[in-house]
């Protein structure tokens, strides 16, 4: 066989082996978002609770349990004392009414099964509905259910993002500094730093010139903006995966950026600077760079994790788009 023949066969084999697999994986991913959306819309139709409220609660709960399967459609888990009613230890669906349990049948099989996604969605929407339909009512419902400020804030923000983009499949990402500018970074996770005592470096420093645009890496909502002794001019964005993204030492903010604003990957937040380590406005105590940190919330506590592997991935994604 000549070279050309060999490569033709190799080419065909490659197509045969890779195409059906990748197409399936993509189709599967499309499917789960479509399945979820169909159930959210169905629940909205029967309860009049906006689909994006229901979707945001489900999205939040998906992030806090460790044993969620990748192809699991709905993740809401309603505690037994709420489902079956306080003091009802029988776990018997026929006794839910007697104990004022909230468990409901959402899929029409006449069983209020807490392990059935549609039943859990319908029950959750019914609990929310008890409080009313406004954004304020929704916040009160969330507070009474979860009794945690950060949880209420996260779910409310996720609902706003879903509403604005009218979809739940929001997996796009961007690198936090404009990739057509000069920049450099390496893995500095856990490095010791001098200023402010024995603090461990919780993030990655991306060195770039003054004025280099800083981009939002994700879909999310601006949760915090302003001066901090160590961070200088900084901004914090909470995304739809219970992750808080922290951008520090900015020289300034983009004009229209404010707390509560919904952002998407690539939106300009401000520009690289060297602010911090002093009273408001202090600048130039170190070379200009963006400090980028990521913090995950599991419904009980929030902790920082290493953003470096994600930055590498988002950098590749950004370069592939250009």
The contact set with Zn ion (CB under 5 A) reads 203, 205, 291
CB 213 within 8 A of CB 181: yes
Nearest-CB residue for Zn ion: 291
Shortest Å, Cβ 278 to Zn ion:
16
In the DSSP assignment, the letter for residue 312 is H
CB neighbours (10 Å) of residue 265?
21
- Residue number with CB closer to Zn ion (85 or 288): 288
Q: Where are the alpha helices (DSSP H) in the chain?
A: 3-47, 51-64, 80-83, 117-129, 135-146, 149-165, 308-321
Nearer to Zn ion by Cβ, of 170 and 235: the residue is 235
CB of 79 to Zn ion, least distance (A): 40
C-beta of 206: minimal distance to Zn ion in Å? Answer: 9
Rounded to a whole number, what is the distance in angstroms from the first to the last CA of the chain?
39
Please state, in angstroms and rounded to a whole number, the distance separating the CA atoms of residues 232 and 169.
34
**Shorter beta-carbon distance to Zn ion: residue 117 or 288:** 288
Our CB check for Zn ion shows the closer of 221 and 235 to be 235
Q: Which residues does residue 244 pair with via DSSP β-bridges, in sequence order? A: 238, 295
In whole angstroms, how close is the CB of 96 to Zn ion at the nearest point?
52
Kindly state the smallest distance separating residue 190's Cβ from Zn ion, in Å: 12
Cβ nearer to Zn ion, comparing 131 with 247: 247
What Å distances lie between residue 70 and 40, 158, 256, 310, CA to CA? 18, 20, 38, 20
**Can you spell out the DSSP letters for 82-121?**
HHT-TT--S--GGGTTTTT-----SSSSS---TTSHHHHH
Least distance from C-beta 243 to Zn ion, angstroms?
Answer: 18
- Burial class of 254 by CB neighbour count within 10 A (0 to 12, 13 to 18, 19+): middle
CB 290 → Zn ion: shortest distance, Å?
Answer: 8
- In the bound state with Zn ion, the residue whose beta carbon lies nearer, of 58 and 205, is 205
Please say whether the beta carbons of 275 and 283 come within 8 A: yes
Whose Cβ is closer to Zn ion: residue 102's or residue 291's?
291
């Amino acid at each position: 066989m000549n070279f050309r023949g060999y490569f033709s066969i190799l080419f065909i084999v490659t197509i045969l082996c890779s195409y059906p697999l990748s197409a399936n994986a993509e189709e599967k991913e499309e499917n789960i978002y479509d399945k979820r959306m169909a159930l959210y819309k169905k629940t909205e139709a029967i309860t009049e609770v906006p689909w994006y409220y229901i979707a945001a609660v489900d999205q939040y709960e998906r992030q806090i349990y460790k044993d969620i399967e990748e192809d699991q459609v709905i993740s809401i888990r309603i505690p037994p004392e709420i489902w079956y009613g306080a003091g009802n230890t029988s776990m018997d669906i026929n006794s839910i009414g007697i104990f004022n349990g909230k468990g409901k049948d959402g899929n029409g099989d006449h069983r209020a099964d807490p392990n059935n996604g549609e039943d859990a969605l319908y029950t959750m929407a019914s609990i929310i509905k008890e409080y009313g339909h406004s954004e304020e009512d929704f916040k009160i419902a969330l507070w009474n259910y979860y009794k945690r400020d950060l949880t209420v804030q996260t779910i409310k923000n996720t609902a706003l993002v879903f509403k604005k983009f009218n979809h739940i499949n929001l997996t796009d990402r961007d690198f936090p500094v404009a990739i057509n500018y000069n920049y450099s970074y390496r893995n500095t996770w856990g490095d010791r730093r001098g200023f402010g005592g024995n603090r461990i470096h919780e993030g990655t420093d991306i060195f770039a010139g003054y004025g280099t645009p800083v981009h939002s890496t994700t879909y999310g909502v601006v949760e915090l903006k302003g001066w901090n002794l160590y961070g200088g001019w900084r901004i914090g964005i909470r995304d739809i995966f219970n992750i808080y993204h922290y951008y520090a030492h900015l020289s300034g903010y983009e004009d229209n950026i404010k707390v509560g604003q919904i952002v998407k990957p690539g939106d300009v937040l401000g520009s690289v600077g060297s602010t911090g380590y002093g009273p408001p406005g202090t600048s130039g105590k170190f070379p200009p760079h963006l400090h980028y940190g990521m913090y995950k919330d599991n419904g009980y506590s929030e902790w920082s994790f290493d953003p470096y592997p994600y930055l590498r991935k988002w950098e590749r994604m950004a370069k592939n788009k250009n």
